[in-house]
Amino acid sequence: MKIGFVGLGIMGKPMAKNLLKAGYELVVYDIVGAPVEEVVGAGAQKGASPKDVAAQGDIIITMLPNSPHVKEAVLGKNGVIEGARKGSIVVDMSSIAPLAAQEVAAELAKKGVEMLDAPVSGGEPKAIDGTLAIMVGGKAGVFEKVKPILLKMGASAVLCGEIGSGNVTKLANQIIVALNIAAMSEAFVLAAKAGVDPGRVFDAIKGGLAGSTVLNAKAPMVLKGNYKPGFRIELHIKDLQNALDTAHAIGVPVPLTGTIMEIMQALRVDGKQKDDHSGVIQFYEKLAGQLVRSNL
């Protein structure tokens, strides 16, 4: 089976490499040349366009920044839809608006092409080690065909419902992650200004009810002031905007999501949009005039 892969950014490149390691034949494309050459060096074939990639693949995976990029790569000129054969499957692993996923799926269906929306959670570290959490929307039969491939990139792949459900689940995930980081930030700034080493606070609470995967992943970063991006603030802003738009469209108030969105927007204005989203703590540090570092 040959797999087409479009989009070799921070997430897509290691995901594609994991498929190669698993023994799959890959043809890849990205508008940026360097990651293409790197993945080709690891054993993939180089595609000339999304259309070319789709023409060669039975399954076509897309991993792109946002809804407009997916629409362009799949439905635009020289897009996937022009090369995909009847019976092939498009798996969009980007984090996009659920409605956009449904629109793209509807156009592909006219050509007899199936689609799953399958966004991921875990950031670059889990993309590299192949332990992403993958949330999927689409038909059960299509999901079962693709699941073994997904599990070469992730530790879990869960069918959440019909097309678009994967991205609804991802939006829920992103709300929870953002608010976890904000809560951690408030707590650590409070501790530091009260004279308690935030590293000791982390050690004391991580095994209790306040402990979480988010806390374990992000606390060590903020305690060292390390905001090298695994997942950039600007990308979290994109996801939260999709969450807000979706929530407002269906009549769901999301006041806490609105608050963390404004915090991230303030950081963007401060030029910190390319920091890891753990850098949210910098907003609180600035307000309190208190730097959070651990002496441990």
The mean pLDDT value of the chain amounts to: 97
Helix orientation angle between 255-269 and 281-288, rounded to the nearest 10 degrees:
80
SS3 129: helix
Residue pLDDT, tens place only, 154-171: 999 999 999 999 999 999
User: What would the pLDDT profile of 131-141 be if each residue is shown by its tens digit?
Assistant: 999 999 999 99
User: Tens of pLDDT along 102-130?
Assistant: 999 999 999 999 999 999 998 888 999 99
Task: Give the pLDDT of residue 193.
Answer: 98
Q: What is the pLDDT of residues 164-218, one digit of tens each?
A: 999 999 999 999 999 999 999 999 999 999 999 999 999 999 999 999 999 999 9
What residue segments make up the domains of the chain, in order of their start?
Answer: 2-163, 168-288
Annotated active-site residue 170? The verdict is: yes
Collapsed DSSP state (helix, strand, coil) of residue 132: strand
Say if residues 264 and 233 touch (Cβ distance below 8 Å): yes
**168-288 adopts what CATH topology?**
N-(1-d-carboxylethyl)-l-norvaline Dehydrogenase; domain 2 (1.10.1040)
Which pLDDT belongs to residue 230?
A: 83
The CATH homologous superfamily to which domain 2-163 belongs is NAD(P)-binding Rossmann-like Domain (3.40.50.720)
Query: Residue 6's pLDDT is what?
Result: 98
Question: CA 187 to CA 224: how far, in whole Å?
Answer: 16
Q: Which of 13, 17, 126, 170 is catalytic?
A: 170
Going by pLDDT thresholds of 50, 70 and 90, the confidence category of residue 1 is: confident
Question: Is 0.85 surpassed by the pTM of this model?
Answer: yes
